[in-house]
């Protein structure tokens, strides 16, 4: 059983499955990209830019990881 999904009805599991990873992965990726883009829309100090780069990259990696997981499970 795919463990990262919620099955809503229990009657037709393949039809009613919804991957929690899909939308949440997309949102985390988008927010990560927005954090990474922020130094381009405002002036930041070096340390501030470094912090944004670390945070944005981490969010993007987690988001993309969730998306990868979702599509891998869906194919399986």
Partner 1 sequence: MAPTLLSTEWAMIGVFVVAVILWGLRMRTGAKTMEGAFLAGRKVPGVIASFSTVATNLNANDFLGLTGAVYAVGIIMAHIIFNNSIVLVLVALLLMHRLRRYNVYSLGGWLEQRYSSSVGNAYSIIWTFVWMLFNLGLYIYGGALVLETLLGWNLYLSIVLLSILAAFYTLLGGLGAVVATDVLQIALMFFPLLFVGFAGLDEVGGLSALAEKLPETHKHLWPEETPFGLLPIMLFGMVFMGLSYWSCEAQVVQRPLSARDPEEATISYMGAALWYAIIVPFVIVVPGLVALVLFPDLPSNDHAMPTLVRTFLPPGLYGVAVVGLIAGFLSSADSQINAFCTLFTNDIYRKMIRPDRSDAHYVSVGRVAGVVFTLAAILTALIVSRNSDGMFLFAVSVLATIMPPFGAVSLLGVLWRGATPAGALAGLVVGGATAMGLVVAAVTGELSDFAARHDLTNIITDDHLYLRTMISFLMTLFATVVVSLFTKKKQEVDSAILDTVPLFGSSNRVRVYGVAMLMLTGIAYLFWSQYFA
In the complex, which residues of this chain contact partner 1 (CB under 8 A)?
3-4, 6-10, 16, 18, 20, 23-24, 26-28, 30-31, 34-39, 41-42, 44-45, 47-49, 51-52, 55-56, 58-59, 62
CB of 16 or CB of 72, closer to partner 1: 16
Q: Which helix (H) or strand (E) holds 11?
A: none
Q: How far is the CB of 75 from partner 1 (least distance, A)?
A: 20
Q: HEC profile for 20-49?
A: HHHHHHHHHHHHHHHHHHHHHHCCCCHHHH
Count the residues in the chain.
Answer: 76
């Amino acid at each position: 059983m795919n463990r990262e999904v919620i099955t809503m009805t229990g009657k037709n599991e393949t039809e009613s499955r919804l991957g929690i990873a899909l939308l949440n992965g997309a949102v985390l990726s988008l927010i990560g990209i927005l954090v990474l883009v922020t130094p381009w829309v405002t002036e930041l100090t070096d340390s501030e830019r470094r912090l944004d780069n670390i945070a944005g990259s981490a969010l993007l990696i987690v988001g993309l990881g969730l998306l990868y997981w979702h599509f891998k499970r869906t194919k399986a």
